Amino acid sequence: MSNIIDGKSVAEKVLAECGQEIEDLKNQGIIPGLAVVLVGDDPASKVYVGSKVRKCAELGLHSRKIELPSNATHQQVLDVVNELNADPKIHGILVQSPPPPQIDEDAIVRAIDPAKDVDGFHPENVAKLALEDSSGFVPCTPAGCMRLLKEAGVETSGAEAVVIGRSMIVGKPMALLLMSKEGNATVTVAHSRTKDLAEVCRRADIIVAAIGRPEFVTADMVKDGAAVIDVGINRVEDASAKRGYRLVGDVAYDEVAPKCSAITPVPGGVGPMTIAMLISNTIKAARQSQTS
């Protein structure tokens, strides 16, 4: 029954569109620029930053990777952000999360020029999302989820949607997008204190799982024909796996997929979309910098 939503192919489509936009901007003498700041030596963060920088190079974007030691002070990170805010060649700034504990991440986000906040986490961009002001930047993962629903032909208008998770990174912006005039869905945001979560989920035409708990959503929580977007990516120990672990989402894929009209796998679903939407946001920032 299920239509497996191939995030990799949709991301390639988005990046192809980005490539054309980059060429158009270059013809106008504009090269979109993205700066990625990495504090510390977290292995997963290094992988993410490396993939972002490589994608920029492939597409012909100007990119800067700034690496600071794990003992960098909050002021040092702030100084880097302020320097990038003032650099006209940089249109997008991303400080890789999570930073070491001595860094006040919220203060760093607030220090980024909202016009360069391609992560969409600055309070000004959060407000613009709530106000449906298209000049703001939408967080990359929720924006990618909306694109996946669209590409899969999932009708959001009039649908009942349940978002599991209420983070500022995914849950809250996802709910705002689904209930916007573009999404037109009726949205419930569920979380750890939701009573009878399974019953709430069973009402949903669309489930977005972003709770960070491996295989949390099981078949008994999903009605027949629902569309499921699995944002989670969790390592689960598995002695039979080559690396000693396997990656799973927040949805028990094998048991849920047969009930769904559409579902994203993990890996290969939402993950590839995040970098694609980051590049898209950077291009948008470069365009808007010419009119500001």
The pair of three-digit structure tokens given for residue 223, joined into one six-digit string: 């009605």
Q: What confidence category does residue 1 fall into, taking pLDDT thresholds of 50, 70 and 90?
A: low
The pLDDT, as a whole number, for residue 45 is 83
Share of the chain above pLDDT 70, in %: 99
pLDDT at 2 over 80: no
pLDDT at 16 over 80: yes
Span 99-113, average pLDDT: 96
159-191 pLDDT, tens digit per residue, is 999 999 999 999 999 999 999 999 999 999 999
β 62-68/160-164 pair status: unpaired
The pLDDT, as a whole number, for residue 41 is 86
pTM: 0.95
* Exposure on the CB side of residue 121, measured as CA atoms within 13 A: 23
Span 125-148, average pLDDT: 98
Tell me the catalytic residues.
Answer: 52, 96, 119
Mean pLDDT computed over every residue of the chain = 95
pLDDT at 126 over 80: yes
The pair of three-digit structure tokens given for residue 81, joined into one six-digit string: 């952000």
Feature table: binding site for NADP(+): 165-167, 233
Whether the bond between 272 and the residue before it is cis, its omega within 30 degrees of 0, is no
pLDDT at 110 over 90: yes
pLDDT at 105 over 80: yes
Ranking 5-19, 39-53, 219-233 by mean pLDDT, the lowest is 39-53
Evaluated on CA atoms 126, 130, 132, 133, the torsion sign reads: negative
The pLDDT, as a whole number, for residue 242 is 87
